[in-house]
Amino acid sequence: MPDSLPADSVGIVSPQIYHFDSPIDLACGQALDSYDLVVETYGELNADASNAVLICHALSGHHHAAGYHAMDERKPGWWDSCIGPGKPIDTNRFFVVSLNNLGGCHGSTGPSSTNPATGKPYGPDFPVITVGDWVKSQALLADRLGIQCWAAVVGGSLGGMQALQWSLDYPDRLKHSVVIASTPRLTAQNIAFNEVARQAITSDREFHGGRYYDFDVVPRRGLMLARMVGHITYLSDASMGEKFGRELRDQAYKFGYDAEFQVESYLRYQGERFSETFDANTYLLMTRALDYFDPAYDYGGDLSRALTGTQCEFLVLSFSTDWRFNPARSEEMVNAMIAARRKVSYSEIDAPWGHDAFLIPTPRYTDVFTAYMDRVAREVGA
């Protein structure tokens, strides 16, 4: 156990549960009568509540974005590289809010929560949630926290979609939208990967049509496969090559089908760990939310028309080796913002790590992100 935490860590943090009693209407036509959101916050909200930053999470989302839950926690929150004292999202200046989204499996109401109508877990009866639904629930959370307007809404990947959706749905409730390693809509290839992941889960014999809770089992193999496929798409060929190459676990080929290459055992390990902590129905729900996201849909595919009502400024960042949501997808978004005469800054960060680069500190990324957020902080007097 370490004696002390890094100086640029937000330190020991603990999540809080916010209970909501008023029904929330969802895009699918259903409603949730009541629900919980699990939230972590870092830093202090200033007197006029102008220094709040919302962190929107990516696919395997968690409210635990920065700091440690206990001194002996092995790893900090998922975006600890960017949130903390002196980091791009500087907690000496900003009040940072991070939550587990609706439909999640880390404490917020989701498929594994008890359905008050039946006294059993929702399972497949949990409504399909969209990015817009998440944004709506986050706005209700902002009301509860006394935050009328976010200094910035920030997210990577699926989180970036939420940051974009915020600018469309609540134009007067955020000053900046920071969209990192994201896309204005999934491509057929993206959806195809999601479908493989879902098929892996639903075809697991322990899935039981999503009612596996009733059988006290978990579709572990399906989840593991889903995560393995996902994981491959988050890395670049070069970063995988650098990490594993063709390295074998033992010296020679065994002419069998066990994990012989290091990369195989790494993927299996990651998949297994994920299947122990993540809910299969939540994975289905979140990949579906990704598929459906397309703010231009209601505007005949014209994203710039969708953006004309926005008021915030945008920062868009992409990564050169991200092939899941490649830089061209970000440029599409930026061009729509330009056409809509929005104020937008854009940079393509040269980094070798693929899609996951948004979680990994590289000097150029840190510099640009820090410079932008520093300016946001100055603007709100933080």
Residue from 114, 214, 375, 381 binding other proteins (CB under 8 A):
375
Query: Is 106 assigned a catalytic role?
Result: no
- Pairwise CA distance, residues 295 & 179, whole Å: 14
Query: Is 249 an interacting residue with respect to other proteins (CB under 8 A)?
Result: no
| Residues written for the chain | 382
Distances (CA, A) of 32 to 35, 117, 251, 328: 7, 11, 56, 37
Instruction: Classify residue 189 as exposed, middle or buried by CB count within 10 Å of its CB (0-12, 13-18, 19+).
Output: exposed
Q: Are 97 and 53 in contact (CB under 8 A)?
A: yes
Element (H, E) at 243: helix 237-243
Query: Is 367 an interacting residue with respect to other proteins (CB under 8 A)?
Result: yes
Residue from 80, 313, 322, 356 binding other proteins (CB under 8 A):
313
334: phi then psi, degrees, rounded to nearest 5: -60, -45
Secondary structure of 140-166 in HEC code, one letter for each residue: HHHHHHCCCCECEEEEECHHHHHHHHH
| Residues in contact with other proteins, shown as a per-residue x/- string from 40 to 59 under the rule CB under 8 A | --------------------
Query: Is 355 assigned a catalytic role?
Result: yes
- Pairwise CA distance, residues 375 & 222, whole Å: 45
| Residues in contact with other proteins, shown as a per-residue x/- string from 148 to 177 under the rule CB under 8 A | ------------------------------
Q: Are 209 and 328 in contact (CB under 8 A)?
A: no
| Sequence-distant (≥ 6) Cβ neighbours of residue 235 within 8 angstroms | 353, 354, 355, 356
Query: Is 157 assigned a catalytic role?
Result: yes
Query: Is 381 an interacting residue with respect to other proteins (CB under 8 A)?
Result: no
Q: Tell me the closest approach of the beta carbon of residue 32 to other proteins, in angstroms.
A: 39
Q: Tell me the closest approach of the beta carbon of residue 147 to other proteins, in angstroms.
A: 23
Pairing of strands 89-90, 35-42: unpaired
Q: Tell me the closest approach of the beta carbon of residue 192 to other proteins, in angstroms.
A: 28
Q: Tell me the closest approach of the beta carbon of residue 322 to other proteins, in angstroms.
A: 15
157, 167, 330, 347: which one is catalytic? Answer: 157
Q: If we measure between CA atoms, which residue out of 62, 58, 55, 64 comes closest to residue 15? A: 64
Q: Tell me the closest approach of the beta carbon of residue 314 to other proteins, in angstroms.
A: 9
Among residues 298 and 367, whose Cβ is nearest to other proteins?
367
Q: Are 47 and 117 in contact (CB under 8 A)?
A: no
Q: If we measure between CA atoms, which residue out of 145, 135, 134, 131 comes closest to residue 171? A: 135
Q: What is the DSSP code (8-state) at residue 12? A: B
Query: Is 374 an interacting residue with respect to other proteins (CB under 8 A)?
Result: yes
Residue from 122, 212, 293, 372 binding other proteins (CB under 8 A):
372
Among residues 207 and 372, whose Cβ is nearest to other proteins?
372
Beta bridge partners of 152: 53
Q: Tell me the closest approach of the beta carbon of residue 316 to other proteins, in angstroms.
A: 9
90, 133, 279, 322: which one is catalytic? Answer: 322
Q: Tell me the closest approach of the beta carbon of residue 242 to other proteins, in angstroms.
A: 22
Q: Tell me the closest approach of the beta carbon of residue 333 to other proteins, in angstroms.
A: 11
Query: Is 379 an interacting residue with respect to other proteins (CB under 8 A)?
Result: yes
- Pairwise CA distance, residues 208 & 214, whole Å: 9
| Sequence-distant (≥ 6) Cβ neighbours of residue 202 within 8 angstroms | 210, 222, 284
Among residues 229 and 368, whose Cβ is nearest to other proteins?
368
239, 279, 355, 356: which one is catalytic? Answer: 355
Among residues 153 and 280, whose Cβ is nearest to other proteins?
153
- Pairwise CA distance, residues 43 & 92, whole Å: 6
| Residues in contact with other proteins, shown as a per-residue x/- string from 315 to 354 under the rule CB under 8 A | x---------------x--xx--xx-x-xxxxxx------
Among residues 265 and 345, whose Cβ is nearest to other proteins?
345
Q: Are 103 and 162 in contact (CB under 8 A)?
A: no
Query: Is 368 an interacting residue with respect to other proteins (CB under 8 A)?
Result: yes
Among residues 28 and 371, whose Cβ is nearest to other proteins?
371
Query: Is 301 an interacting residue with respect to other proteins (CB under 8 A)?
Result: no
**Residue 232 tokens, joined:** 């491959």
> Using CB under 8 A as the criterion, which residues of the chain lie in contact with other proteins when the complex forms?
313, 315, 331, 334-335, 338-339, 341, 343-348, 364, 367-368, 371-372, 374-375, 379
> Where in the sequence numbering do the catalytic residues fall?
157, 322, 355
